[in-house]
Amino acid sequence: MTAAGDPADDEFRFLADDAKRIGRSAPLPEVRRISLPDGEGRTISALAFSPEDPPELAALHGAGLNAHSFDPMLLALARPALAVDLPGHGRSDWRSDADYRPQTIAPAVAHALAAAGVSAEAPVHLVGHSLGGLVAAIVAASSPELVSRLTLVDITPGVARRAAAAAVPGPDDGADPDPDAAAGGPAPGAADAPGAPGGPGAPDAPGGPGAPDAPGGVAEFITGQRDYGSIEEIVDRAVRFGIGSDRAALTRGVALNTRRRPDGRLEWTHHLAHLNGLPGGVTAAAAESPGDAATDPAEPLWLALAGLSAAGLRIGLVRADQGMVDDSLETEWRERLPRAAVVTVAGPHNLHEACPGELAAALRD
C-alpha cells in the first residue's frame, strides 16, 4: 500500500487519517496503484481498493480532481473498488490535443475498465461526479455490459444546456474553471476548503469571482503561478486567495494533486492547470457534449439515459443541496427519467470529499 522512498512522497500516507475521519475501525484495505491502457497508446492510472477481489464499484472524479479524492468515501463504503484518474488528471497521461470533453475521454475510460477486468460477467456500479458523471453516462451508453448500476453525483445533462446558453469561454479565453478544479484540487472536504458550498470559482465561494477581498479568481490562483518550491508555498498561496484555511486539509489536497519535476519544483498534475487559460471544466465540456450544441447539447445524453433506464439499468442521481443541481434541474431529471431515483445529501458539490460517509450510505441503498 505504501510507496518506497521518501515518506513525504508516499501517496497513501493520508489513508489512516482519512479512515479516522470517517470513523472506520476496520483495518485499512490494500490500495494499489495500477496502470491501464486507454486503447490509443496512452495510460490510464487508477487506484484499486482491495485488488484481490473483483471491483464492485468504479468511481470517476470531476475536472481538476483525481482518484484520491474518493479515498475517504471508498474507505467508508468498504467494498472492492476502482478510483480512476481521468485522462489528463492525476497520474493518467495527458492528451496532446488537450481535448477532455466527456465524449472524447469516455472511450478511454471504458477501455481501461475492461482492461481492469470489468466485463459482462463482472460489471460495476459506475459512479461519476460532475465531469466524471457525464463521462460515466457515456460509458454506460456505449458499453452497457460493463455497468450494473449508474449513479451521477451532483450533475445532470441539463448542465450542458445551461453552459451552452451561457456561451462558456473556450480553453484560450481565460475562463474560471468548474468548481471541481478547486484551485488545482487542494483539499476539498474541509468546511472552508475547495468543495465548500458554492465551490471554488463560484460567486459565493471563498476566493470566487464574487469575493471582493480575494486577490483573484481560481483561474488566477492556478495559472498565475505554474510552479512552486514546496507544498507549504502552495498552501500559503491558497490561504491568501481565500481557498480554504484548514492547513492540514489543504496540505493533503495539494500533496495529492502535485508532482515534483526533474528540477525539484512542484507543479499541478492535471493538464488543465498548464493550458493557456483554463477551460470551463465540466460546464465547458458539457457545452460541447455529443450532439448538435446549436440545438440542445443535453438531448443526446438524456436520450441515452432514458434508453438505459428503459432497458432496466438502475440509474440514480445524488444531489448536493449546496451544489450544482438546483430544483429546476432535479425537476427535469424526474420528468426525463421517472424511474431513476434522486437522493439529496446535505453538503457542497464535492460530496465525496466533504461528506464521504453520507455519500457512501446513499450508494449502498
pLDDT on residue 216:
61
Strands 81-84 and 258-260: unpaired
Look-up of cell digits 510552479: 227
Helix, strand counts (H, E) of the chain: 13, 10
Give the closest residue to 282 by CA, choosing from 178, 353, 138: 178
What global pTM score does this model have? 0.85
What residues have CB less than 8 Å from 174, skipping those under 6 apart? 219, 223, 277, 278
Residues 40 and 108: beta-carbon distance below 8 Å:
yes
Strands 81-84 and 57-60: parallel
Q: Which domains does the chain have, with CATH numbers?
A: 1-168+283-365 (3.40.50.1820), 176-279 (no CATH)
Virtual CA dihedral for 84, 269, 129, 59, nearest 10 degrees? 10
Give CA angle at 7 (6, 11), nearest 5°.
Answer: 110
Total residue length of the chain: 365
pLDDT on residue 293:
44
Give φ, ψ of 124 to 5 degrees: -125, 160
pLDDT on residue 220:
82
Residues 33 and 83: beta-carbon distance below 8 Å:
no
**Average pLDDT of adjacent 10-residue blocks, the chain of 365 residues:** 51 97 97 98 99 98 96 98 98 96 97 98 98 97 98 93 55 37 34 29 28 58 90 94 86 95 96 73 45 69 97 98 96 98 96 96 94
Distance, CA of 81 to CA of 73 (rounded, Å): 11
Distance, CA of 255 to CA of 185 (rounded, Å): 10
Looking from the CA of 24 toward its CB, the CA atoms found within 13 Å total 24
Q: What is the DSSP letter of 177?
A: P
